[in-house]
Chains A and B, each alone.
Chain A
Amino acid sequence: MRNRFRKFSCAFLLLALGVLFPLSARVEESPAVAILLSGKQPAFQEVAAGFMETAREIRLFPFELGGTEESRGKVIKTLRSGATPAAIFAVGSQAAELAQKDFPEVPLVFSMVLNPEPFLGHPNTTGITMKIHPRDQLQAFKKILPRIRKIGVIYDPEQNRSTIAEAQAAAREIGLTLLEKRVSQTREIANAIKDLMYLVDAFWIIPDQTVISKESFQYFLETSIERKIPLFAFSGILVKGGALLALAPDYQDMGRQAGNLTKKILAGKSPQSLPPLSPEGHLVLNQHTAQALDLTIPPEILKTAEKTY
């Protein structure tokens, strides 16, 4: 806990320095990496902290995009006024979008981008996706609860068509049946849950822009409790908030992975030769939920959990 606090403090300090002394004001040395943060969210700070921890030897220049066009313009102006950075580490899709659009010649490493597909076609771009490979998640679900056969998932095909195709293929390999419902609007979710709730042994909530909201998570959770079927999530905080378990990414880990990727680029590798990486999954379990659903998690599984609530 104390370590984490130190890392956050360090990240905050660096960010503050970045805002006070922009790139142009620094002594010009190379190579230098610009860190662009889409916002002030603590998760972005955690990723930045992880990145900084890995890339200690690299000169880092953090910037935070404000919500306005003016503040974005300011960041662009500052970046253009100094030496061109050797790479940009973008945290969040707004930062990645700015980097790719306004600095296409600069190698881009993105992170915390929920839907990275629009950025991936660019030869100068690579990064760390937010999604743990569906196969790894499904394998973990099956290992922890071997009786699960049918898993229900709700998604927007505009957002997650390829993820679900991968998940379907993985489910077939593992011996699971993935029952899917497509939605295009948030208000369709309640009926999609109703359609699936009597057909499946578990629900799997994935990071889908259309699906995720407080209301839909609450409905998933209530249905899970009412039907006594597990709810698998994609984030440790959602597990803390009542889901049974998740194979979740660790934000600092994602930062570290991005740092290592950036170091390879700085060493001369082209971003095109470095395919985007999935974050490593950490098992997070909620034992209160397991107890309420009459599920017994084997002790050997509990031992492997990164965190239990």
Chain B
Amino acid sequence: MTKYLKPFRRLILPLLLGTLLFPFPLRAEEAGTAPSGEDRLLNLETEVNTEEWRNQVQEKLEQAPLEPEAFSVTGARHPEKVSHAPAAVTVLDEEDLKLYSVGSLEEIFRLVPGLEVVVNSPSYKMVGIRGFFPAGVNNVLVLVDGREVNTNFIGEVYWDFIPVSLDDIKKIEIIRGPVSALYGANAFAGVINIITKEPRDEKRAEAITEVGGYNTDLGTLFFKAKGAYQGRSWGFKLSADRQQSWSSSVPGEPAAEVNRVSLKTGSDLPHNSRVDVDASFAFGDSRSYAVIGEAPVTDILLSTIYLHGNWDKLNFKLGYYRFNFDMGLDIPYLPPWMIRGLFGESYPIPASTNNLEGGLDYSVYLGVKNRLTFGAGYLLNTFQSSALAKEYNQEQRIGAYVQDEWNFLPPLSLFTAFRYDYNSKTSDDYSPRVSLVYTPHPRHTLRASFARAFRKPSFWEYGMNLKTMNLSSSNLSNEHINSFELGYNSRLSRHLSLTAALFYNQYRDIVGFDEDQIFTKLETHSDSIGGELALDLVLRKNLKGFANASYVEPIDRSGGRPEVHLDLHPKYKSNFGVSWQPLPALSLSLTGSLIGPKTDRILDSSGATQEMVPQKLPAQFLLGTRLAYSFFSDHAEVGVKIYNLLGNEGRQYPGADWNYDIDGDGQAEATNFAGEKQVRTITGFVRISW
């Protein structure tokens, strides 16, 4: 008898697993006789109309957190609680952006653990994640409503020319760590997703003015006006702003002038659907150093049209942007005499990039335990300039991904994602990610993740071959990162929550300059280890605070330069912030950032030979404060923001006080090669809305 049963032994394990995954009680309900509708209703009323039920509910109400936990749509490409996301996520909501925005849009990122910001000049700002700094490379993917805003020419983000300002933003989601498995190229060190307000989130009309001073003789002027209309389902908003910044490096005229006009229109559609069309233009000049490859750029015109929305669970996007500019003669690490030799008198060089982007994503439940999300994207990028050996250059990217969220046992969820990317200029790539999220208690969540991601060298690295000289290598392949991460989220009490993450990154296939200052694949390998710890405190609705700290340590694996991806990024950094509203109309906030020492190498061309010399920047403490008073039922607000309250004069970017003759007329137009000294910034603002 047993020999006949033997083959069935193989069924025992699948049957046991099946029983665990699809418990019988769920089926039993379907098999039973269904009670009538009113019976179910009356039964429900009977079941909840008990003292025991009410006591349980009362307990839950009393233990409810003072603020709901933030959620993110970026970490898993569908909404997830931050604690349950398959990556380390920070969300800055509208209130955070308002209360802690003591500087510019970018400077608020400095308050996020694991992120660092360098403001080199009024027109050159960089945001780095976990040691990776986008100095000339594209290792942080920045999205606005899902559209990539990294300029593929050099990969960096021109923050001033993003057609949003702080008051347009609904929230910002920041993923620390690689996410190429969902976003493809350049989601390498992390992703910053800026989500803007819909017309229905805006007031009917609003005017904002900010006037600020860098000490006494330098400053900024910002003026913005916007109007919005929201009908039953359709709405639009139109906004226009102008920002001028002055700097000691460009005497006599604004160092940066940016004008932005944007129109956002959208409509709710049946079946939980919505479509939005955004059109924007940003134009101006960046006369201070280093907006593109540390070069002054004038006659910038960035125009964008973007269609996006969803048809129930199908998200779609189609965007086009064109970026025209006249590039000045400064190129990183090349002295003026060499640049004049390269270009002759033909500069500034007109150039343009065109970018066409499309994508589809769909999310569906398979049964009750699996959620499948999949999608595909296409990007066509062109770059043309008369200075190039090949005047017209084109790059195509196609990628497709799939992700499964499998809640195989109630406290355990497994996120598995895989993406394949084709790239016409560098190498094809694949990016897996696995993340196990364990929630042993509703207040505690643990996460273990592995992710592989890639950075596609930018046009600057693989295609910038000038008519007179080669600066790039056409045979570059992608850089890679393997990241191992442990995360912990805890709601310690109604008032206090804690987030911690530990990571170990392996940085491979590094692209950098060779001895001839040409981009090449380096032989060096580099690893890093680090972590972040963050505490959020909500004492009362009107008194909140946060504190966080992060650390990253490079490890040499190949005898090369271990800090290769930690240039500009400090090893340690900590931040704090407190906001208090003693009266409903009065708000006061204080933020502080202690930034550890950092090092970068700059080319010293002051002597007869060119030499890369390290420059160490000491630790800095930046304190900021904001005081605002609103009146006329919140229709008007006045306030003041002070950044770098203690007047720290250190640099955020290494630099040297060289006199610099840009156009060869014998007069110095600038005094800094890069890295302006910091100054105390005092900005007053007035906001009127109705």
Contact = CB atoms under 8 A, between A and B. Distances in A.
Interface of A: 38-39, 41, 43-44, 92-94, 112-115, 130, 149, 159, 168, 172-173, 175, 177, 179-181, 185-188, 190-191, 195, 197-199, 207-209, 212-214, 217, 221-222, 225-228, 235, 237-238, 240-242, 288-289, 291-294
B5 interface: no
B541 A294 contact: yes
Given A199-B272, A292-B61, 9 more contacts: A39-B39, A114-B37, A130-B41, A159-B37, A172-B233, A208-B37, A225-B61, A226-B64, A235-B45
Interface hub of A185, A198, A199 (most chain B Cβ within 10 A): A198
B36 A238 contact: no
A188 to B, nearest CB: 7
Contact of A238 (B45, B69, B233): B45
11 contacts: A38-B38, A130-B38, A159-B37, A187-B29, A221-B57, A221-B60, A225-B61, A235-B45, A242-B54, A288-B61, A292-B62
A116 to B, nearest CB: 10
B44 interface: yes
B36 A114 contact: yes
A225 B64 contact: yes
B36 A92 contact: yes
Contacts of A115: 37
A228 B57 contact: no
Given A115-B37, A228-B67, A43 B61 contact: no
B44 A238 contact: yes
B19 interface: no
Given A172-B233, A238-B48, A213 B40 contact: yes
A159 B40 CA distance: 13
B517 interface: no
A38 B45 CA distance: 17
A212 B60 CA distance: 21
B294 to A, nearest CB: 41
Nearest to B78: A195
Given A185-B30, A235-B41, A241-B57, A214 B68 contact: no
Contacts of A227: 68
Contacts of A113: 37-38
Nearest to A241: B48
B49 interface: yes
A228 B68 contact: yes
B690 interface: no
A289 B57 CA distance: 9
B26 interface: yes
B368 interface: yes
Contacts of B233: 172, 177
B42 A41 contact: yes
Given A112-B38, A212-B41, A190 B67 contact: no
A217 B44 contact: yes
Given A172-B233, A213-B44, A292-B64, A242 B38 contact: no
Nearest to B230: A175
A221 to B, nearest CB: 7
B61 A177 contact: no
B36 A94 contact: yes
A252 to B, nearest CB: 15
A114 B34 CA distance: 14
A186 B40 CA distance: 12
Contacts of B232: 172-173, 175
A92 B38 contact: yes
Given A209-B37, A212-B41, A228-B67, A191 B49 contact: no
Pairs of residues from A and B, 8 with the lowest C-beta to C-beta distance, nearest first:
A114-B37, A241-B48, A209-B37, A198-B79, A292-B61, A242-B57, A237-B45, A228-B68
Contact of A207 (B37, B54, B79, B268): B37
Contacts of B39: 38-39, 41, 92
A130 B45 CA distance: 14
